[in-house]
Amino acid sequence: MCSRFFIDFPDTDTQRSKLEHYLADHFADDRLRHAYLATLAATVDKSTVCLMGHERRQTLGLIAALARAVLARRPTARRPP
């Protein structure tokens, strides 16, 4: 499935767009979005043989940036006064 994704969407701009739309369409909760991105990163890092080293690093960087953006949107827990 990952291999097909990278064949259909070879550049990171298109990958970003598709991943953002997928997250918005399939996950209402940012915790679930972040968990999905963590799983995706582990999958790409360990088992995607169709990517060359620099492509893998670019894609992992993209996934990490999306994960950081998801975390940044989450409200911080209120601390008691």
Q: Give me the pLDDT at residue 79, please.
A: 39
- For residue 75, what is the DSSP state? P
Round to whole Å and give the CA distance between 70 and 8: 25
Tell me the pTM. Answer: 0.82
Per-residue pLDDT tens digits of the chain, which is 81 residues long: 777 888 898 888 999 999 999 999 999 999 999 999 999 999 888 876 767 788 888 989 999 999 999 988 866 544 344
Round to whole Å and give the CA distance between 50 and 7: 9
> Distance between alpha carbon 34 and the CA centroid of its chain, in Å?
8
Q: Show the tokens assigned to 6.
A: 């990278």
Round to whole Å and give the CA distance between 27 and 40: 14
Round to whole Å and give the CA distance between 25 and 66: 15
Q: Give me the pLDDT at residue 78, please.
A: 45
